[in-house]
């Protein structure tokens, strides 16, 4: 109702239809997504991409980047189990993607866990990711190291801090920045979009965050000119799959299974009735 | 009915009984299968071997090959996430297996994805795998690089191309070559056996192809003198488990679970009623 | 009834309540557990820790140890897919943990598979693990290499051999030693505690052994002063989750799912009614 929250360019009821349109495009085009990711996430990430209709390719070797990366439609880099011998391939793939205007997405897992990791993330940010997705503390650590501390209007609220950090990181890096949480936030530094789908138990399954980052890569691959919207929609759709899965689950392991099944089987009516995105311009 | 499709040495109704006999042998002897495989597949591959009654061992380190590989009953090499530091162990293990007449199976995942990968696959083929299993494009890429282009009688049909490539690769390498697809093809370069089991959704689960290659290793381990038949039967049995799983599945993730459960619980009557193999000599 | 099996310090009916108390502590404090583990186990191990209420962190890089290991509450080292380039980080992390009196747990997977692996395990044992958990043959191989052959009173019984080996290893190393089997045995070299929970089919799921080792790390993290009891209780609780899962399972893959769900949902009454631990002092 407030003027500042009104989204003139994108009426709010357009989001669910856009969600279906994008998911259909992923299913139709089956974009090839190269993932250089952590060991823990590889299985769930590949299965998430497959169930959404995309084609995963888990190639991480430096020697293969020049031959293979030109063939992919998007790239997903994740530093979860980073080691010094994997970093050159990540950088080479990111560099290639940036130069050839191919979208690529960065997941700065545990960015603040060590100096080594934070430096690696900063080097990757320099290579112009299309999207950066993390949780609040990851985005705050990366933003602080990248563009300096932000002063939220009310820094006692963590979500406000994360929002300010995300905006600053987006402005400083040129990337779309997504912060996962009870409500997912996506920003280009000015515009803010919130995705309200998902269930809390998804955090009790390892690699759900990593997997939604790969899903973002698949969505941006089929709608590169609207990376902010594609990112918000991927987060929302993964959340919808979680909600549907939750209705069948007994715990985290059955949720994991039902989430993937639900993502695979998602139909238009169900998706449209559940996507909850709000946009603030 | 046609003379050329008649299988004199192996009446067609013998296949289902042979399938049960071989699965029983795997369960009874629990062959130890060393897998040097990609990171994505390790979990499903180990669980596939366990559910079939075999013993998986995921050791990939060069220093351990001389001590450990002599103890195993078969070896499974898979280049899915190959890097330069893993290749020497693969070659050492393959070399040892070849010299000691231990069966070993090669999965040339994405053989044509890069020069690096194709070269590695060609070097491994030189070390005399007992069986090579891939999808059509992998076998075609490997065959072309290994023995040159083939001229199918009707090269406009991809399955015919794959068949000709498989035969050429088998003749050139001395390996049994298996091509996975809607119908699986197995050949020694002359004889061709087709396995007609499985469901399409298995392709929506990452690492099912890798896992059936490991299963082939387990089957060849208990019937080394009939590697062609053991390969066809492993493909068929994995497909039967997929069919049984499919009847309980809601999507790819539940199919994955039910497939493994079904492989574990497979009984004689069910298996015999479902194995569909045709042989062309 | 026999005097030697009477547990004066720990009445047998205290175990179930202690089990609930410790599981509650894990859920409440959510200890951060660093796992440097094999590739096969990472997914199940992380999900086991999450479902128990702990926080997994799969960081294995040497450069990160000085920054990150000081932040964790316990460490889990597993040599399942050991290679020379991973060993320095394992040793650095273990060394840090020992010096700072942080609990750490060693899983000597396939300790006897190669000279390389056995030497690595012996070097890690020198760094004073709080707990060592393996199966009978792993503990026997490690004990023999570490403290020399043991002479069981009745060496024709494997379980007796494992018991003697465990006691000798515990005395020689100062660690609590746990031997998984139909009955799990835990000893500090003198006292012996047996955990009688679990189902045989858990051995048909890859990485269940690895995962219970990580669970032991989480339990010891919240009760460091009673590592022997915490170890026995973690083994028992994981076994209870397996028993509950088994009642819903059709095979190993559904057992894996239901086990994790059951661990997540375990309530006080169910746990207390099922924990079966006997203590011999």
Residue A7 has pLDDT above 60, yes or no: no
Do the beta carbons of residue A58 and residue A46 sit within 8 Å?
Answer: yes
Low-confidence ranges of chain C (pLDDT < 70): 1-12, 151-158
- The label of the residue with tokens 């219970």 reads C212
- Give the neighbours of chain B: at least 3 Cβ pairs within 8 Å: A, C
Do the beta carbons of residue A173 and residue A129 sit within 8 Å?
Answer: yes
Mean pLDDT of chain A: 93
Residue A1 has pLDDT above 60, yes or no: no
Residue A151 has pLDDT above 70, yes or no: no
Please give the pLDDT value at position C280: 87
Q: Which residues of A touch C51 (CB under 8 A)?
A: 204, 251-253
DSSP 8-state secondary structure symbol assigned to residue B40: T
Tell me phi and psi for residue A64, to 5 degrees: -95, -15
For residue C253, give the nearest of B47, B61, B66 by CB distance.
B47
Question: B46 to each of B58, B260, B270, C253, how far by Cα in Å?
Answer: 8, 11, 24, 12
Question: C206 to each of A186, B3, B43, C39, C42, how far by Cα in Å?
Answer: 39, 47, 7, 11, 11
Q: Which of B247, B257, B270 to mutate to test the interface with C (most CBs of C within 10 A)?
A: B257
Tell me phi and psi for residue A15, to 5 degrees: -60, -50
Please give the pLDDT value at position A147: 87
Residue B1 has pLDDT above 50, yes or no: no
Tell me phi and psi for residue A132, to 5 degrees: -120, 125
Q: Do A61 and B207 touch (CB under 8 A)?
A: no
User: What are the E-state strand segments in A89-188?
Assistant: 104-107, 131-135, 176-180, 184-187
Mean pLDDT of A150-154: 56
**Beta carbons within 8 Å of B11's beta carbon, 6+ residues apart:** none
Determine the distance from the C-alpha atom of residue A87 to the mean position of all C-alpha atoms in its chain, rounded to a whole number: 20
pLDDT tens digits for range C145-196: 998 887 554 445 567 789 999 999 999 999 999 999 999 999 999 999 999 9
Interface of B with C (CB under 8 A): 39, 42-43, 46-47, 50-51, 56-61, 63-64, 66-68, 71, 85, 256-265
Total count of domains within chain A: 1
Q: Which of A262, A235, A281 is nearest to A22 (CA)?
A: A235
Search chain C and give the residue with CA nearest A118: C64
Q: How far apart are CA A30 and CA B67, in angstroms?
A: 44
Q: How far apart are CA A182 and CA A194, in angstroms?
A: 10
- Give the neighbours of chain A: at least 3 Cβ pairs within 8 Å: B, C
Please give the pLDDT value at position C158: 66
Please give the pLDDT value at position C151: 58
Please give the pLDDT value at position C157: 59
pLDDT tens digits for range A164-203: 999 999 999 999 999 999 999 999 999 999 999 999 999 9
In this structure, what token pair is assigned to residue A198?
Answer: 């998902």
pLDDT tens digits for range A45-74: 999 999 999 999 999 999 999 999 999 999
Please give the pLDDT value at position C12: 54
Q: Which residues pair with A10 in a beta bridge?
A: none
For residue C40, give the nearest of B43, B63, B262 by CB distance.
B43
Residue A235 has pLDDT above 80, yes or no: yes
**Domain limits at B260?**
3-280
For residue A116, give the nearest of C58, C61, C263 by CB distance.
C61
Residue B38 has pLDDT above 60, yes or no: yes
Do the beta carbons of residue A217 and residue A74 sit within 8 Å?
Answer: yes
Q: How far apart are CA B99 and CA B116, in angstroms?
A: 26
pLDDT tens digits for range B75-129: 999 999 999 999 999 999 999 999 999 999 999 999 999 999 999 999 999 999 9
Q: How far apart are CA A237 and CA A253, in angstroms?
A: 20
Q: How far apart are CA B90 and CA B100, in angstroms?
A: 15
**Exposed, middle or buried, A79 (CB in 10 Å: 0-12/13-18/19+)?**
buried
In this structure, what token pair is assigned to residue B116?
Answer: 């690096």
- B:C CB pairs within 8 Å: 84
Residue ranges of alpha helices (H) inside chain C are 15-29, 42-52, 65-68, 87-99, 115-126, 136-147, 158-173, 208-222, 227-246, 252-265, 268-274
Q: How far apart are CA B26 and CA B49, in angstroms?
A: 10
For residue A47, give the nearest of B81, B205, B250 by CB distance.
B205
**HSE-CB of B224 using CA atoms within 13 angstroms:** 14
**Beta carbons within 8 Å of A275's beta carbon, 6+ residues apart:** A15, A16, A19, A197, A233, A236, A237, A240
Instruction: Give exposure, C74-88, as e/b (b: 16+ Cβ within 10 Å).
Output: bbbbbbbbbbeebbe
Please give the pLDDT value at position B158: 67
Q: Which of B175, B180, B142, B144 is nearest to B159 (CA)?
A: B180
Query: Given pLDDT bands bounded at 50, 70 and 90, which one contains residue B280?
Result: confident
Q: Which residues pair with C176 in a beta bridge?
A: C131
Question: B29 to each of A34, B23, B241, C149, how far by Cα in Å?
Answer: 40, 10, 21, 30
Highest mean pLDDT, choosing among A5-19, B123-137, B144-158:
B123-137
Residue B192 has pLDDT above 50, yes or no: yes
Q: Which of A191, A209, A189 is nearest to A147 (CA)?
A: A189
Do the beta carbons of residue A278 and residue A193 sit within 8 Å?
Answer: yes
Do the beta carbons of residue C211 and residue C256 sit within 8 Å?
Answer: no
End-to-end CA distance of chain B: 13
Please work out, in degrees rounded to the nearest 5, the angle formed at the alpha carbon of residue C108 by the alpha carbons of C105 and C113.
170
What is the side-by-side strand order in the sheet with B55-57?
B55-57, B32-36, B74-78, B104-107, B131-135, B176-180, B184-187, B192-195, B277-280
Determine the distance from the C-alpha atom of residue C230 to the mean position of all C-alpha atoms in its chain, rounded to a whole number: 9
Determine the 3-state secondary structure of A10 from DSSP.
coil
Q: How far apart are CA A63 and CA A66, in angstroms?
A: 7
Q: How far apart are CA A265 and CA A263, in angstroms?
A: 6
**Exposed, middle or buried, A171 (CB in 10 Å: 0-12/13-18/19+)?**
middle
Q: Which residues pair with C56 in a beta bridge?
A: C33
The DSSP element (H or E) to which B55 belongs, if any, is strand B55-57
**pLDDT above 70 covers what percent of chain B?**
93
Which CATH number does the domain housing residue B55 bear? 3.40.1190.20
Please give the pLDDT value at position C13: 76
Tell me phi and psi for residue A89, to 5 degrees: -65, -40
Mean pLDDT of chain B: 93
Search chain B and give the residue with CA nearest C254: B257
How large is the greatest C-alpha to C-alpha distance in chain C, in angstroms? Answer: 55
Q: Which of A40, A60, A119, A202 to mutate to test the interface with C (most CBs of C within 10 A)?
A: A40
pLDDT tens digits for range B245-272: 999 999 999 999 999 999 999 999 999 9
């Amino acid at each position: 109702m407030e003027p500042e929250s009104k989204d003139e360019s994108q009426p709010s009821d357009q989001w669910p239809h856009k969600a279906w349109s994008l998911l259909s495009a992923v299913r139709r085009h089956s974009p090839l997504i190269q993932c250089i990711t952590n060991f823990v996430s590889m299985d769930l990430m590949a299965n998430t991409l497959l169930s959404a209709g995309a084609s995963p390719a888990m190639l991480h070797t430096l020697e293969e980047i020049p031959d293979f990366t030109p063939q992919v439609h998007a790239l997903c880099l994740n530093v979860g189990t980073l080691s010094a011998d994997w970093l050159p391939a990540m950088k080479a793939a990111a560099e290639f993607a940036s130069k050839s205007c191919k979208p690529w997405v960065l997941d700065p897992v545990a960015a603040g866990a060590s100096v080594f990791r934070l430096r690696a993330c900063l080097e990757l940010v320099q290579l112009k990711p299309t999207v950066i997705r993390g949780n609040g503390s990851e985005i705050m650590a990366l933003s602080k190291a990248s563009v300096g501390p932000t002063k939220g209007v009310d820094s006692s609220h963590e979500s406000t801090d994360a929002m300010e950090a995300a905006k600053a990181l987006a402005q400083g890096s040129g990337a779309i920045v997504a912060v996962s949480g009870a409500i997912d936030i996506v920003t280009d530094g000015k515009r803010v979009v919130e995705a309200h789908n998902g269930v809390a138990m998804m955090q009790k399954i390892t690699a759900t965050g990593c997997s939604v980052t790969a899903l973002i890569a698949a969505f941006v691959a089929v709608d590169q000119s609207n990376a902010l919207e594609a990112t918000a929609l991927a987060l929302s759709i993964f959340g919808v799959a979680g909600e549907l899965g939750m209705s069948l689950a007994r715990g985290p392991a059955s949720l994991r299974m039902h989430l993937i099944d639900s993502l695979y089987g998602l139909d238009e009516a169900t998706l449209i009735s559940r996507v909850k995105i709000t946009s603030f311009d």
